[in-house]
Each structure stands twice: as structure tokens, then as C-alpha cells.
């Protein structure tokens, strides 16, 4: 147990925090990417401390490892479900569309949580940081409650909106109720993890993710296939394993925060009561990020519907291929976080040129890594496909899809990283416009024409992805080079 500070120190700290709390209704939040808002902290120049590349790697590797663990869980799911049937894989694919949509909303709220908490911590206002944490939890929990109610009451209609076949709907409903019905747990876990990152603790979420990955993997094998005397539950077993892993994760996160005396991640009931004035601010900061994610997820759902016109083999190939290749674009997510942090810190130090140098350096590293990983996955696409399915029809569709997506890796690494840099500067509109252009001006219309007008082979549908990511990369490059985001320095 951590030692408790003397009462006079606690009283002095709280009195100073309350005096500095300010009026949350008149504050001017700066929306940023995850961790970027730590720019408000009075730190020495991070680039001078480690050098640009060293600091970028220092910030990127915990995020990369955490994302690897998350992708590993998803990959284990699909590898085991792939041994059941292509209909089971397609069922997971349909449910995943809604799961990505809800997760996107919670991640956007997490961005707001980090932005508000980090700014408050940097100003020495720990009480305000706790209230921002509590407000973020309340907003996320309210949205999760609505999602859970919709999934429990209307799972069939939601799946039929995506044009799922009746046999697939029957398989997907119990799995959907378990995985999306547990979003109450997921929403809380994402916000608590964001609070820990705002408090400069990235190792605890990473360690908890490792524990949850082990539990999920072990329970998957036991419950899906009926090992160790347990009944064979197939997709229901995968859903139960997800719920169990989430319960363990949120329990460990709760224990971790309770042990952090004086941390803004540690909340009491009074923090929730006092957080009401900050609820609107959480929503306001979250909205641009939510809009961007809704644009992308809506496009992915439409794209998924067009893939469905080619049959369950194409759906299964898309579902497996996305998970396999997710490992190759994970570094882009890590470099996005690193560029957000460094750009935000440099602008906070009135060094816009240093901010631009940090952004370009992160882009260079992201391109090198994504090119290498894309080449590896392209060369090994057929052996990788055979690891995750034994269905010859799915393997035949999966090879070309993985090749096309591997070719798009450098473009994804580029726009991921520049998107993080722009969010670090407070520019959330450019990533939103880029996502709208790439998805709704190119990906979805091209998929519609290929699938319903020209009735081309499915490979042309895969190629629509490349045009999407190319458009986003070009838009981000133009915006970052143009430099208008530097004007947000005084915002």
C-alpha cells in the first residue's frame, strides 16, 4: 500500500487546486490526439533530450506494443473461428463493423479525456483533472448504455441493415449480444486507460492488456472448441471469452487507479458530482474526432455491404485479411501518437519550426517501417492465409486482397502519422476532411460502381482501398506542408 501524505500537505494541495480551478464554461480546450495535450506540461525540450528519432521511438513503442496485443486478440479470435466455417467468419465480420463503430466513439471520448486532463495537470490543477476524468466516464457510460440497449433489443435488424444472409444472422446474434452488450465495460476501460496516459503512465495499460490477452486466448480455445471438459460453444464461446477478459481488465484498471494516491486517475464519488459543468466540454472536444470516426466507419460499413454481394468467401477474406495486416499498420498508430505529442509540445514552447521538423521526422520513420512490413506481408500472403483458414475459396480471395492492402501500407503510415501531427496542433478538421474525401468521394463510389454497375471481379473492389488511402495521404501532405496549422499556436 502506498504511504498516505501528511494531512497538512493534502489540505494545502487541495486548497491550491480549488483556487486554480477556474470556470470550465469559459475555458478554451485544444482538441488533440492521444497524449498530444501533454504539451502543456512544463518539460524540457524532448528533442534536445533524446534527439528526434529517440524521442519518437520512446513515445511510440508503448502504443505499438499495446496495439499489437489488441490486434493479437482479434487475430486469435478469427484464427479459431476460421476453423468453424466461413459463415462463422462472416458473422464475426458483420459484428465487427458495429464493434469498430462503437469503439471509435469511445476512443474519441478518450482523446477528449487526455486533452482536458493533461492541460489541467500541466497547470497544476489536479482537482480539475479528476473532474475531467469523471465527466469523460459519465459521457462514455451514457453512450455505452444506449449501444447496449440497442444491441440487446434489435440485434437482428442491425445485422440485416448490412445485408447479412439469414444463416449468418442466426450465428451472429448471440455473439453480437455478448461482444457489443459488454460495451459498458469497454467504455469505462478505454477512458480509465486514457486517464492513466494523461498522467504519463503508459506501462500499466500495456501490462493489463497483456493479462487480458492471455485470458482471452486461453478461454477462446477452451470455450470455442470445448476443451478441458467444457461444452463446445463455438461463437458463443468467443463472446463469453471477450466478456471475461474485459471484466478482468476493468478490475485491474480499477485496482491500479485506487493505488495511485493523489493521481487524477483516482476518483471518488464527489468527483462525479462535481464533474457536471465539464460534461459539455467533453462532448465539445470529442465531436470532431467522433465525426471523423463516424465518417470512416460508415464508409467501411457501406464497403462491407458491397463486398457481401460477392459471397461469404469474399467477406471471410476481408475479415481475415484486415486482421492479419493490422500488424503492419500498427507502427503508423504509434508514430501518430508520437507526432501528436512532439508537435503539441513544440507549439506549446513557441517553436513551430521544431514542430514541423518533428512531424516530418516521424513521417520518415513511419514510411521506412511500413514499407518493410508491407513487403514482408506481401511476400508471405499465401502462407499467412493458410494459417487462418483451410477453406480453398477463402484462400483464393485472400491472396489478392492481402497483396493490394500491403501495397497501401506506406500511404497508410503517411496519413496516420501526419493526422496525429495535425491533431497535436489542434487541427481536427483536416483529418476529418481527408477521411471524407478518401472514403465517400472515392472508396464507396468506386465500390458501388464495381459491385453493382460494372460487376467487376472482386479484385477491383480491393483496389478501391488504395485510392482511398492515396487521397488521404495527398490531402494530409498538402495541409501539413501548407503550415496553416501553425497559426493555432495562439489558440
* DSSP symbols for 83-111: TT-HHHHHHHHHHHHHHHHHHHHHHHHHH
Which of helix, strand or coil describes residue 175?
helix
Q: Per the structure block, which three cell numbers stand in for 102?
A: 462503437
Sign of CA dihedral 81, 84, 86, 91: negative
Q: What is the pLDDT of residue 319?
A: 79
User: How far is residue 92's CA from residue 77's CA, in Å, rounded to a whole number?
Assistant: 9
Q: Are residues 244 and 320 in the same domain?
A: no
13 located within any domain: no
- The pLDDT tens digits of the residues spanning 213-226 come to 889 889 988 999 98
User: How far is residue 247's CA from residue 267's CA, in Å, rounded to a whole number?
Assistant: 19
176 located within any domain: yes
Q: What is the pLDDT of residue 481?
A: 93
Of 146, 74, 105, 85, nearest to 324 (Cα)? 74
Residues 6+ apart with CB under 8 A from 398: 317, 320, 321, 381, 385, 389
DSSP tag of 144: H
175 located within any domain: yes
- Of 284, 301, 324, the residue that ends a domain is 284
4 located within any domain: no
Q: Are residues 490 and 380 in the same domain?
A: yes
Q: What is the pLDDT of residue 476?
A: 95
What one-character-per-residue DSSP string does 367-412 give?
A: HHHHHHHHHHHHHTHHHHHHHH---HHHHHHHHHHHHHHHHTHHHH
Residues of the chain with pLDDT under 70: 1-52, 55, 58-59, 115, 118-119, 122-123, 200, 325-326, 341, 344-349, 424-426, 487-491
Q: Are residues 479 and 433 in the same domain?
A: yes
> Contact 94/316 with Cβ under 8 angstroms?
no
Q: Which helix (H) or strand (E) holds 287?
A: helix 279-308
Residues 6+ apart with CB under 8 A from 243: 178, 179, 182, 185
Q: What is the pLDDT of residue 378?
A: 85
75 located within any domain: no
Tell me whether residue 2 is exposed, middle or buried, using C-beta atoms within 10 angstroms of its C-beta: 0 to 12, 13 to 18, 19 or more: exposed
Residues 6+ apart with CB under 8 A from 391: 82, 86, 313, 316
Q: Are residues 370 and 412 in the same domain?
A: yes
CB atoms within 10 A of CB 28: 7
Q: Are residues 375 and 257 in the same domain?
A: no
Q: What is the pLDDT of residue 268?
A: 86
167-187: string of b/e by CB count within 10 Å (b at 16+)? Answer: ebbebbbbbbbbbbbbbbbbb
Instruction: Say what angle helices 392-407 and 86-122 make with each other, to 10 degrees.
Output: 30
Count of structural domains within the chain: 2
> Contact 21/127 with Cβ under 8 angstroms?
yes
User: How far is residue 333's CA from residue 413's CA, in Å, rounded to a whole number?
Assistant: 8
Q: Are residues 416 and 454 in the same domain?
A: yes
> Contact 78/278 with Cβ under 8 angstroms?
no
Q: Are residues 99 and 55 in the same domain?
A: no
463 located within any domain: yes
Length reported for the chain: 491
> Contact 114/197 with Cβ under 8 angstroms?
yes
CA 429 to chain centre: 18
385 located within any domain: yes
Q: Are residues 461 and 318 in the same domain?
A: yes
- Of 237, 269, 284, the residue that ends a domain is 284
Alpha helix (H) ranges present in 182-278? 183-198, 203-225, 235-258, 269-274
List for the chain the helix, strand, coil content (%; round to 5): 80, 0, 20
User: How far is residue 86's CA from residue 75's CA, in Å, rounded to a whole number?
Assistant: 15
Chain mean pLDDT for the chain: 79
* Residue given cell 490531402 in the structure block: 475
Q: Which helix (H) or strand (E) holds 80?
A: helix 52-81
User: How far is residue 458's CA from residue 446's CA, in Å, rounded to a whole number?
Assistant: 12
Residues 6+ apart with CB under 8 A from 100: 297, 300
* Residue given cell 494541495 in the structure block: 13
- Of 218, 250, 284, the residue that ends a domain is 284
Q: Are residues 235 and 336 in the same domain?
A: no
Q: Per the structure block, which three cell numbers stand in for 333?
A: 498508430
257-281: string of b/e by CB count within 10 Å (b at 16+)? Answer: beebeebbbbbeeebbebbeebbeb
User: How far is residue 426's CA from residue 43's CA, in Å, rounded to a whole number?
Assistant: 19
> Contact 381/421 with Cβ under 8 angstroms?
no
331: containing domain: 50-61+309-491
24 located within any domain: no
Q: Are residues 250 and 335 in the same domain?
A: no
User: How far is residue 135's CA from residue 125's CA, in Å, rounded to a whole number?
Assistant: 15
* Residue given cell 498538402 in the structure block: 478
Q: What is the pLDDT of residue 426?
A: 66
Residues 6+ apart with CB under 8 A from 20: 123, 124, 125, 128
User: How far is residue 62's CA from residue 207's CA, in Å, rounded to a whole number?
Assistant: 10
- The pLDDT tens digits of the residues spanning 427-452 come to 778 888 999 999 999 999 999 999 99
Q: Are residues 265 and 334 in the same domain?
A: no
Q: Are residues 210 and 346 in the same domain?
A: no
Amino acid at each position: 500500500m502506498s504511504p498516505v501524505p501528511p494531512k497538512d500537505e493534502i489540505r494545502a494541495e487541495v486548497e491550491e487546486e480549488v483556487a486554480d480551478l477556474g470556470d470550465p464554461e469559459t475555458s478554451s480546450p485544444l482538441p488533440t490526439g492521444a497524449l498530444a495535450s501533454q504539451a502543456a506540461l512544463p518539460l524540457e525540450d524532448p528533442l534536445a533530450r533524446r534527439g528526434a528519432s529517440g524521442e519518437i521511438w520512446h513515445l511510440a513503442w508503448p502504443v505499438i506494443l499495446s496495439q499489437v496485443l489488441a490486434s493479437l486478440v482479434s487475430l486469435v479470435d478469427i484464427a479459431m473461428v476460421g476453423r468453424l466455417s466461413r459463415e462463422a467468419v462472416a458473422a464475426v465480420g458483420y459484428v465487427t463493423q458495429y464493434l469498430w463503430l462503437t469503439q471509435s466513439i469511445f476512443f474519441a471520448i478518450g482523446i477528449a479525456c487526455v486533452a482536458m486532463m493533461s492541460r489541467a495537470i500541466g497547470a497544476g490543477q489536479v482537482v480539475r483533472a479528476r473532474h475531467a476524468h469523471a465527466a469523460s466516464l459519465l459521457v462514455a457510460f451514457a453512450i455505452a448504455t444506449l449501444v447496449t440497449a440497442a444491441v440487446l433489443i434489435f440485434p437482428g435488424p442491425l445485422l440485416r441493415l448490412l445485408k447479412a444472409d439469414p444463416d449468418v444472422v442466426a450465428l451472429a446474434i448471440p455473439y453480437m449480444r455478448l461482444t457489443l452488450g459488454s460495451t459498458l465495460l469497454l467504455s469505462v476501460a478505454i477512458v480509465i486507460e486514457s486517464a492513466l496516459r494523461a498522467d504519463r503512465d503508459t506501462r500499466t495499460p500495456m501490462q493489463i492488456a497483456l493479462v487480458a490477452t492471455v485470458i482471452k486466448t486461453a478461454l477462446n480455445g477452451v470455450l470455442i472448441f470445448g476443451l478441458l471438459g467444457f461444452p463446445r460453444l463455438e461463437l458463443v464461446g468467443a463472446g463469453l471469452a471477450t466478456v471475461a477478459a474485459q471484466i478482468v481488465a476493468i478490475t485491474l484498471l480499477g485496482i491500479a487507479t485506487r493505488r495511485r494516491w493523489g493521481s487524477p486517475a483516482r476518483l471518488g464519488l464527489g468527483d462525479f458530482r462535481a464533474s457536471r459543468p465539464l460534461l459539455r466540454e467533453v462532448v465539445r472536444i470529442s465531436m470532431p474526432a467522433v465525426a471523423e470516426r463516424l465518417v470512416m466507419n460508415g464508409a467501411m460499413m457501406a464497403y462491407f455491404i458491397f463486398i457481401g454481394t460477392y459471397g461469404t468467401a469474399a467477406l471471410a477474406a476481408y475479415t481475415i485479411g484486415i486482421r492479419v495486416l493490422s500488424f503492419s499498420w500498427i507502427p503508423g498508430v504509434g508514430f501518430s501518437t508520437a507526432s501528436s505529442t512532439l508537435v503539441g509540445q513544440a507549439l506549446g514552447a513557441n517553436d513551430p519550426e521544431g514542430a514541423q521538423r518533428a512531424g516530418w521526422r516521424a513521417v520518415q520513420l513511419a514510411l521506412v517501417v511500413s514499407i518493410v512490413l508491407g513487403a514482408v506481408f506481401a511476400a508471405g500472403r499465401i502462407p499467412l492465409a493458410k494459417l487462418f483458414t483451410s477453406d480453398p475459396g477463402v484462400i483464393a480471395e485472400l491472396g489478392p486482397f492481402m497483396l493490394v492492402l500491403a501495397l497501401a501500407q506506406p500511404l497508410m503510415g503517411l496519413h496516420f502519422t501526419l493526422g496525429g501531427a495535425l491533431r497535436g496542433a489542434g487541427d481536427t478538421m483536416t483529418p476529418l476532411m481527408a477521411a471524407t474525401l478518401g472514403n465517400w468521394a472515392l472508396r464507396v463510389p468506386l465500390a458501388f460502381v464495381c459491385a453493382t454497375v460494372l460487376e467487376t471481379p472482386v479484385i477491383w473492389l480491393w483496389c478501391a482501398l488504395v485510392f482511398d488511402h492515396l487521397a488521404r495521404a495527398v490531402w494530409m501532405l498538402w495541409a501539413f506542408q501548407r503550415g496553416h496549422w501553425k497559426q493555432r499556436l495562439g489558440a
